[in-house]
Structures are given as structure tokens and as C-alpha cells.
Structure 1
Amino acid sequence: MILPGKVRIFSLFIFSHYAVKFCFGGDVITASEHIQDPGSIISSGGLYRLGFFSPNGSTNRYVGIWHNKIPVFNVFWVANREKPVPDSSGVMTISDNGNVVIMNGKKEVLWSSNVSTSGANAKAQLLDTGNLILQKQSSNDTEPVWESFNTMSDTFMAKMKLSTNTKTKEKQVLTSWKSPSDPSIGSFSISLEPLDIPEVFLWNGTTLYWRSGPWNGKVFIGIPEMESVYLDGFTLVDDKEGYVYLTYNFAEVSYLSFFFVRSNGELLQPFWDEKYKHWRIDWSTRDSACDVYGKCGPFGFCDAKKSPICSCLRGFEPKKVEEWSTGNWSSGCIQSSLLQCDRIKNGSTKAGKIDGFVKLENVKVPNYAIWSSTLEDKCREQCLSNCSCAAYAYDAGVGCMYWTGHLIDIRKFSYAGTTLYVRVAHTELEGKRDLRAIIATAVVVATVVFSIGIFFAWKKSKERGGKDGGHVLEASSENMLGGSLSKVNLQELVLYKLDDLAAATSNFSDANKLGEGGFGAVYRGRLLNGKEIAVKRLSRASGQGLQEFINEMVVISKVQHRNLVRLLGCCAEQEEKLLVYEFMPNKGLDAFLFDPLKREQLDWRRRFNIIDGICRGLLYLHRDSRLRIIHRDLKTSNILLDEELNPRISDFGTARIFGGNEDQADTLRVVGTYGYMAPEYAMEGRFSEKSDVFSFGVVLLEIVSGRQNNTFNEEDQSLSLLGLAWKYWEENNVVALVDPKISVGRLEVDIMRCIKVGLLCTQELANDRPTISTVISMINNEIVGLPRPNKPAFTERQTTTDTGSSRQSQKKYSVNRLTVTALEGR
């Protein structure tokens, strides 16, 4: 599961998360050699330490085990999780009955290893594996009677055994902390489920939250990252006496890595990067929404690269259409046509043709696979002969697998995975194939005819507008999108009625207003089906809005990415022009970043996740989408945050689509926001990918510093934020730029690297700036030895802030203190 070349995020915990007090000692605890808070013992090789600690934000004292020689990522094991010592009076020792115990200042036992043993010659020793073992000295040997590896906390370490007794149902499980400041047992747990084919399950209480997919002897086939790295040493053992357990070990002893379940239910794998001396995250269950168990319900199919992510398997249809329309897919799908067995059961005189199978490649197979000894070439035949069989698959390590009942938790992978064959009625493979072709042809013909009709209607409308002085955008009940909008390809957008949007927003009341900018206001709304939306309403007083309105519809309707806000539809009626977006509950990044209270929620992990997400969205716009798009107004207020504070780039009113051979373009109409605009764009109207990179660099420095470039306030009133960053860079004091709300500590190298990337992005000459793909490699440490940045543009304070402008032929610009798209959030 180790992917050294694929670093997803930087370490989530660092040494500062634990207020640990040190006291050096040996590696054993005896009745006479106890640990008194703040004492500790260290394993013989110096790798691990056991002692008292307080989690960040707590004054309670616990006994735990953590890395000794490198920064602390997390405390691997906690003894007294449910009964902390309230003060520093705690003692860990060997009791009279030979158990390891933790007592408070009143000599009350708060925790015990609780095994039956004799107290004579008992000792507890911390090994270089991180395991604490309790040993009883017999006449000829030392016998281990208890070990911490058998009472897991939230961490699965090398040589541990995640086990289940199939006879007694007793399990060794990982259990999350209740919160980062409370080690008591939380909501999430991880267990090995033998089933017919063993899998690892992650539970939220008693509800299944994530699963690994079946074990095939080398890997869990529901984790594609394991495909190329099965030599990590994972082993699943059945001792034939009831115990089945999973364990692993690394061939390279010095390699430090483990699996850790966070209090929010995320299972991740950090590893120590010896070269750069910090922790990195190699793998996590939070790759996409499709990782949540059963996201799309029974017979649903999840593909994180599509929007919406859920669809029904071929031959199936939504069970509750009204729920699917609101993004609730839990009800799943039902079969569209009766299978052969069902037709016979219903008394059909003709059973008809036999069923067939739809082939799904690179997928995570459904839950509850049933193993069969049938050979691969007989797997299909076996499934067809069993009326209960809904699907089958074959894996060389497992053999033939088939499923009965509901198929749940199927998702698409980009690579690896398994080929699944889903049983469908023959009509889904034959008759309906021809029907689909007929329908497709009919749709094409109808579209062509409709387009021709709309074109002539538009032409006539335009002529009428020229004669009567009317607006080109003249809507009627028969054609909501009249005039210029009829030329726009809006096949994937919903056309909303003005009355419905007015009702959803309480007639565009100020109470529902989320923000306002040069384009107009944005309102929060709720449709009749309960779906929350954000409605952007073009200001009638704005002379700039029509072009941007059409532009935004064209651009966003053709691009879909997890880091771009999703446009749901539009409305053009009674001189109103409105865009309907998905609602982002956390509004814009600026609402968090520049708020003294909310910014405390943005620790470095979240900030880096936002930085990386903005990069991914820009990379999609610049290189990966079917259109090549330059945003032209990237700023913190145009970065919206979803429920989990993931970033989404919004506001494409000023965006430009580039042709295949275009690298840059000129404009006589400069629109955007000063403070974020690249110098070549603000002064000369030239824009390119590198002008977006400049804007990103400003946003990056704002995220790190917590200061806004346009409202910057420092003692040196002549310096902008870029100027201050450069001043600190020249003085070799860049850490002074960092937001005090960020706990720097061991993260300093990563944070300083991001500041340097910000300076590289804001260099005055466009050719000196990196591309966004290079930026991603830079911030993720995939490029060693970054170049020295040149002095950024606009290091002196500008006399204007937010503005849009029109560039004249002399390449000067006028100030009207307005942005076309400056919204505060949705």
C-alpha cells in the first residue's frame, strides 16, 4: 500500500500536538523501578518511548507509547484511555499481583493489564517494535503473559495481529480516539471480518463505513494502491483452530510506517520521509466520496470522476427518482426488466431468451462475495444456472466469486480493481441496444431541427430588437432563453422558471443575500424538493453583465471537476438573468481566512489541502479539461468551501477559452480584481496561464499569512503583502510572515516551501513563473532544489484596490472601483 511517489497530503499530526514531558530511564518497569509522572522509559534501541503525556488541549494525563527519535505523529498506544489521571500524580508500576497498573496520587488503580499471574519477578519491558510486554520469571525462562499489541488503540503497527476468533467471535480491533484531545474510545473501529472471503471493515458505531474488498492471498482487491506493492509483507493467517489474523512487516527494518484511524473515521498510512525529515501520508480511505460504503445504494455504481458520482447499473433504474434528483442515492436502483427466472415465476408461457451479463472493468466488487471452487471458464455458467445469482467475478488469487441479493458498494477505479459481470435481462443486451440507437438518432435529428428553428427565432428577435429598441434578451413563456442565449449549447443545464427561483429565495430578500459584487447579488435558496441552491442575479444597472452571463454558462456547463463549483442551471425571463449553482454552506475562503475566529479552524493541514485543491482545479482548467480555460479573476472570495472545507473555484464570468494553439491573448477590456491581477494583464491586457498562476501565488501567500493583499495593514504603509513577503525573504525571516494561528513547529520546512512557491508564482515576468503543473510538483516536494525567486510585482502599495477597467488604445486603464465578479460567497 506504500506509494512513495504519490504523496497526497502532509502529515496531519506533529510533535506539538502532544504536551509530553520527558524523563530518561531504562526499558523496564518493575515493582521497585516504576515510572512517576513525568518519567518515561525508552526501548533498548532508542526507537520508542513510554511515558505520561497530555493530548493537545487537555490537562488530563495518560500513559502512552510514541516514537522517540523523530517527531511525534501520533501516540500509538494509550493504556488508561477511559480513566485519565487528572493531575501529575500518576504512577505506572507492577502491582503485588504481578500486573502492570496505573495509579493516581491516592494509590487508586485506574488501569491494569488484568491478567492472572504471580507478582514475583514480574516485569514490563518496552521492545524496539513498540510493544510493551509483561513477563513472569519462571525457574528456567521468562514467560510473556500480556502485551500491549494485543490491546490495540487506534494504530495498526508492523507485527501486530488484527484478529478474529471465528468460534468465539472475539476480535482484536482498532478503535479511534473520541477527539484529538480525548483518547477515550470513539465512534470508529476497524476489524477483520472472515466472512466467506476475508475483508477489513471500518465501522461507524454499528454501521459499515468503508471496506477493503476481498483478500486474494496477496492484496485486498478493493484497494488498487496495493496492486503494485503487495511485497509490503501483508499476511493473512488461519491457524485452523478458530483464529484468523492479518499482520504485516516491512522488508526494510528502518522503514517507519503504520496504519492509523483518526477520530473522524479516516484510515490513513503515514510514513517517515528520512530524506526530508518529516511525515508524509501515503494512502488514505478519504480519496473520494465513493469510498463511503454503499454511497449509491443497492445496484448503484459510484464513479468519482463523473458528476453526479452515482448512477444505476445498466439494466437498472432509480428506485426513488425524487430522492436521486436531490443527490440522495441511498435508496439505490431496481431492475428495469424481469430476468428469465422471474418471468417463469410470474407464469409466463414463454420464458424467452436466457439472461446475459454486463461487463464492468476496473471496479471494486460488491460486498458479501460468496466463494466457489468453480474454474474460471465455468463461473459464468454456474451463475446463470442459479436464479439467485446477481453477478459474478473471477480473481486468480480468490477464484470464482458470485453474489446473491442486492449488489452494494460497487465503485469505479482508474486502474487495477476487478472485472465484474452483472446479470441483466437479454433485452438489455439485444433489443434495447437497437432501441438506444433509434433514440440516439432521433435525438440528433430533433436537436438539429430545434437548433435551426431557434436560430431563425433568434434572428427575427434580433431584427425586432433593432427596430423597436427592445433588448436582445427578450424572453417569453415559449422561449425562456431568447436572443443571444439561444445560441449557447446548454444541453446539460436545467432551465429554471423565474417564479420558482423567486419563491426559493423569498423573492430575493436581503435576508437570503450571501454576497454582492460587480455582477450583482447572490442569494441562498431552497427549491420545492428541498435542494439548497445559490442564485446569482445579474444587476440590471450593470452594463457589464450580459456578456459575462453568457460566458459563465458556456464555460461552466462544459467543465466538471471536484475543485470547481457546479453550475446547475440558469434563467432568462422578464429581463432577469440568473445562474443557479450548488450551494456551498461555508461560503468563500475569505470568510474563514480573514475572520479572527473562523481562521482558527484552518490548521496547516486544512490550509495545505485548500492550496492543493486550488492547484488541481487550475490544472484541470489549463490542461486537463476538453476546453483550455483562463480564469482571470482568481481570488480568495472566489474559492468556495464545501461542508468539509474542500475548495471549489467559482465565478467564471471573466474566463476565456483558449484555442488549441493559443498560449496567450490580448484584450482591450481588462476585468478582474487589482491585487490579484498579473502586471502584464493589469497594464497591457495580456493574459495567459501564467496570469492565473500570479493570482494563485497571491492567494497562496494570503492562505499562509492570514492577511488580505487588498486590505493589507502593516506598520510600513508603503509595502503590499507581496512586498512584505519579499522583505522577510531578503532578511531570511520568512517565518515572520506565517499566520500566528498556525503551529509551525516541525512543519516549518513545508510552510517555508509554500511561501517560496508563492514568491515564484508572483514574479514580475510571466516567463519566470512556473506552470500550475510544476507548482503542484513543487508544493508536494516532488521537485528538489527550487530556484531562487526574483522580486515580485507590485511590492509597493497600490493606490487602487478592487476594480474592473477598460483598457484604451494607449494601454492605460481607468478606475471605476468595481469588479465584475467580486462575490463574498454563495
Structure 2
Amino acid sequence: MATNVQLLKFLFLLLFFSSLWTPHAQQIPDTLKPGDMLTSLSRLVSSEGRFTLTFTWSSLFERNCTFLVISSTSGPSKTYLWISGANDSNVLGLENKAGALIIMGQAGNLMTLYSSTQPTNNTVATLLDSGNFIFQEVYSNGSTKRVLWQSFDNPGNTLVPGMKLGINHKTGQTWSLRSWLTRDLPIPGPFSLEWEGNQLVIRRREVVYWKSGVLRENQFENISPNLTSMYHFNIVSNDDEESFSFDSENQNQPSQWTLTDMGRLHEGQKSMARTDECYGYNIDGGCQMWNLSVCRKPGYTVELNRSYLVNGDASYTIPDPNLGMIDCKANCSANCSCAAYTTLLGNWTGCRFWTTISNFTPTDMENSDQVYILSPKPSQTETGKTKWLWIAIGSIALHVAFFCILCYRHRRRIIVLQGNNDTNDGKQFLSSEISMGENGIPNNRKKAHDVSVFSYECITIATNNFSLESKLGEGGFGPVYKGKLPTGQEIAVKRLSRNSGQGIIEFKNELILISKLQHTNLVKLLGCCIFGEERMLIYEYMPNKSLDYFLFDSNRSKLLDWNKRFNIIEGIAQGMIYLHKYSRLKVIHRDLKASNILLDESMNPKISDFGMARIFKQNELEANTNRIVGTYGYMPPEYAMEGVFSIKSDVYSFGVLMLEIVSGRRNNSFNQFDLVLNLVGYAWDLWKEDKGLDLVDPTISDSFVANQVLRCIHVSLLCVEEDAVDRPTMSDMLSMLTNESTQLPLPKKPAFSNGRKPIGATIPKKESKVHTANEISISDMDPR
């Protein structure tokens, strides 16, 4: 009886303390208000308790680092929807401070998630029950005024309902999953999951490993229906975005897809894609084929073995902490002497390789070395007679190949810098015929172009295997990487991305065209690399990036005083005069803008990106196209509406660019009530009111020369006039700029001064493309 009384007392106390604890647990906030801070001792929990935002730490390259993460309260503990960059181990916290969302470290270092140069009032940061962490400006009643930043725009390795894969055409924002480097290191790894061409694609460092197959009737070809039957897929394809997302029919059951460090796509604990079983020769379950090393015949696989090593020394190592296990596999597969591999460092990074497996003794013990062995698996045993037959065929093939090489060597003019396993693709590509048509490149196939062809191995080594540290940025063509050749020369590598609107025509156009052009104000093309589906252009490295990198940044723009800006204007004009008048080919650039102007170490401008250029015959004045390419805002009306272009098209673009250089503002950065007022319209209004100097960038207020600036604005307005015939040529324009004694005509009201939209265009939309990522480029007739 006494025992029962004690049990009742215990239950009473338990209920009493749980009643005290429950209200306290419900008080965990989901929002940071201005001045609030989230520290390593606190957390945010979404209103229904589905997701949590908190700090965690990991050992990163032999030092402790802290990350801010969003994780599901019901899923695996190390599955993160979003993860910040690494900070030092002594993190003070996440603060909503004066309209900015900032992660602050004890050492004073800051990681800014969002900040604005414009006044921003009443901001809150809230963790939603969807798992999305949003930083928003709200009205006094708490309703959303505008979302300033959200974690769903920066996914980690996990996709949940409402999160998107794809691209935002308006902002250039791409949505994709990125695997971790290893299972315990939450930093970007080699695999990405993307939405492309109505299907899911997994890449390892830009090489396509797996495709889901096209989505039809809510079903992917290469994903089991049992894994997707509970989902509803949402596909958006319009001028604003191309995206994929899903909703789950069971709202009470959390649904998440995770891209693992080995390239597998998991739905919960089930595999939707086994990318680690893609070897480059098989097409099972959506695997894609790629160029195998000459020594890896179809049929080889990788087997995991636990072994004792009689001699524990590896044949060679790569102590690179940016390489994970899957990178070691790729390196071993590409090396004909490699027989086995594993990771090298304690955090499962770096690689060690063996050229023989004779030192391995298999074992089942858990603490033994975990080694991956490359195992060839021939389909059948060859008899001695079959072997001799293959030897005879091989001998004949070798003699024929040797004779073909002798015949070809005396004809080739392409310079091969290093290796020859992958340059045949490049030589064949360059020697193919391109007629004088829409792309405008003449080539009679009688001569190869004098273009250097770099081997894929050379470029891979030069860019450190296209590492994140080597990446300079992302353009309409694709990612751009910095590299260094064995000669010590620094290079910039433009790598054609499958997400790019630009394609083979633009690639070949730029490659062959720019190889024929030489001018101090044009970027210098060093060569190309063509390997399987890879397309890369190799340029001289420009240490100061592009003009827009400086011009539109409030701090960096201070480095461009008026003298530098005027020199840049002159340099661009000189380059354009060369293209229009003095080069061997009369070239219309068609995409002249700040992001396509590169700056060398002395801030001298160099025009780049000739993928959309057209060649004119010397007596040709204008041409018409049904494929509009370029960037809205820089296009003259006759081109945007009717497809008519000429050298005056570039003059218009130059006029807009010159206004941007003077003002430090983008052409599309103005809004006035319901009327879209672009930079051209703003400059015109100021000019009419004799307030031209109000246009000048405040950061150059102490350095500009008033008469020179006003002359630039005046000439710019002449360049952007409605009728092409009224615009000056580039050479006349430069004379107006530099010769102050020249009497300037009065400008007329410019084209698109109110940001009007083209009306009544009949150009087909079936060739619509988006050609740049940093600005909105169009080929349809509905500018945004």
C-alpha cells in the first residue's frame, strides 16, 4: 500500500513539473525582431515545431568552425535545409540589426546574410513551418511588405515541399542542391542536383552523372513510381523563371529529398538515384555516359573491401582537403596505373592511391582499413584463338591509324599545348564548316583556324580541378575560373554551362571570331578546350574583373575616379571603332554592357563576350534577324521591335553604357509610381531642366570635370536617339567627346525614355533564350 502511495506522489510531481515546463517550451520564439540576437545557447523553432534554427559546429580542416543551420525536428540530425558559411568557433550570434541580418563572431568578423543601402524599416526574421527562414520588411500590422532574403534561395543538400530547383530569369538566381564534401563536413561538395530541360540532373563538378528522364504524367522515367506517388510536382516555365518543386499529399509526414556526399539522391531512407554506381559506360537507372580513360574498359566497377595492409604505404597521395571520397574515385579511374583508393586525412578528405593490391589482406574486422578497389569485369573468357584474332585486328588498326596520323600532321595548324587524348574533339570542331549565315562566320573548310587547343587535363590542373577557390564568377555563358598554365601564365576559363541560354553556335561564334581580332581594347583569346561535351574558352586573365563589379558597388565605385572613368569610356570607344571600321572583319557586337567590359591591372578596358556578335560585309549597312539576342535596356528600338541591327545598334548600347559610367547606376534601377523610368529617361529629364550634373555619381563629386561630364551626357543622349540614322557613328562620337571645339547638335527625345514595351512585334518566340545570368537578356518580344 505504501508503495502505491509513493507511486501516486511521483506521478503527481511529474505532472506538476511537466505543466511548468510545457508553457516554457512553447515560448521558444520563431522570430528575431530588430535588436534581437540568436546565440549559440538559444534557437528559433517554427510555430508548429517542425523546424529549428540553431548553431552547430564541425571540425573543418583542423580547426573548429561554427555553422548556422536549419534542420527538421523529425528528420535525421545531420540533414540541413540551409547552412551558413563557416565562421570561427566563438560565434556571438545572429542579429537583426538596422535592417541587416548579420552573423557576428567574437573576433569581430561579420558574415552578412542581407544588407541594403536603401532605408529599411521594421524588419523581422522568421522561421516558417515550411522550413524557410525569411528576412522581411513588414507593415505596422505585421503583414509582409516585401521579402528581403530567404533561405529557400540558398538550398543546402536537402529539398523539402515548397523549395525550388531551377533559375530565376529576372535576377539570375539559380536554385540547386549541393552535396556535402563528406558525410560530416557541411561544406559544398562535388555533386549538384539541378532542374534542366523538364528533368532532374545530377552533376559531379559539371560532369553529368545521372538524369531522371523527362517528367510525364507526374512520373519520372528513371525514378521508381513507388517513391514519387505521394508527391505532386509543380513545374513553372515562363519569362520569369524555370523551376521545379513538389508538394506532399501527406502533410503530417515530413518529406525531404537529400543529396548525399556520394551522389545518391535519397527520399527518406530510400534511394531515388544511385549516382555512385554510374561509371561512365552504363546507362542503368538514368546513369549517363562520359569520356572514359583509355584504360577503363566498359565493365569495370568499384568494390569496397576491408583489408589489412602488409605494407601500409600508399603508392601516391593527394593531400587536398577539398577532395572527398568521390573525387578520389574519379582521380583513380582517370589514372591507368591506379588500382585502389581511399581518403587520406582524418576528416575523410584528401586521397591516397595504390598501383597494386598485392599488399592487401582481406578481413572482416571493423577497425581495418576501408579500401575501394577498381575491379575489371570482362563479359566472357576469351579463348587463345580469339586473342590472336584480336591481336591481328589491333595490329592492322594500329598501322592504319599510324598512316592517317602521318597524312594529317603536315596539314594541321592547330597548336596543341599539352596531351593529345582530348584534342581531336577540338580539331574536328574547329575544322567543321560554318556558313556565312545567322552566326556570320565565314569558313570554307580549306584551312583550320589558328587557335590553340588545350587538353582537358591541362585545364583541370590549371584550375585545381575547377575548385570553388578558383571560381571567379558566373556569366551568361557559364562559370568562369582562374587558372595558371605550366608556363606560369594566368588564365581565365569560361566553361559552357548546360543551364546557359548560350549554346554551340555562340561558343563557336566567339571562338573563331575573336581569334581573328587583335586590339589593345579587346580581350585576348588564348585558345579553347573541347572534350566530349565540355566546351571551354581560354582567355588572358583580367585581375580587376569586369566594369560592373566596380561601377555598381557603393564602396568599389570609389576606386573609379572621373579620370579613370573617362579613360574607360575612351578605351571602349577605341575598341568599338576597331570592330566597326578597322578590323579585317566588320563586327557588330550586339551585347555591349558593363559586365562585358573587363579591366586589366591598370584599369584599362577590354571588350569581351563575342558570342552574339555578327559579321557584316564591308558594304553591308544593316541586317534583319528573327532571333533577337542581347540584353533588354541596351537594345535600340529598331532591333528590339523589328530585328533590324547595324553598327548604330552598338552606338545605342554604348550611349546607355556611358550614362551608367557617369551615374554609377544601372539602366533599369529607376522606378516612379506606375511609370517605369529608366536611366535614359532620367538623364533626359535632367538634361531638359538643365540639371545634367545631378546625374553624376556622388562618389566622384570631388574629381569630375563639369564640362567634360556634361559633354559625355550630351553625346550619350545623341547615341540613344529613336532613329538610328540620327545617331553618330562610333568614330564621330569619339571626336565629339575629345574635341571640345566641335559643335554638338541638340539631342531629341531618346528611345525607351519611359521604359515602354514593344508592341505589335511578329518575331517568332520559338527561339526564345535567356543569354546572361547577371542581367536579363532576351530573344523574345516581351521585355521585362
| TM-score of the superposed pair, with normalisation by structure 2 | 0.42
| TM-score of the superposed pair, with normalisation by structure 1 | 0.40
Structure with the bigger RCO (C-alpha within 8 Å, sep 6+) is: 1
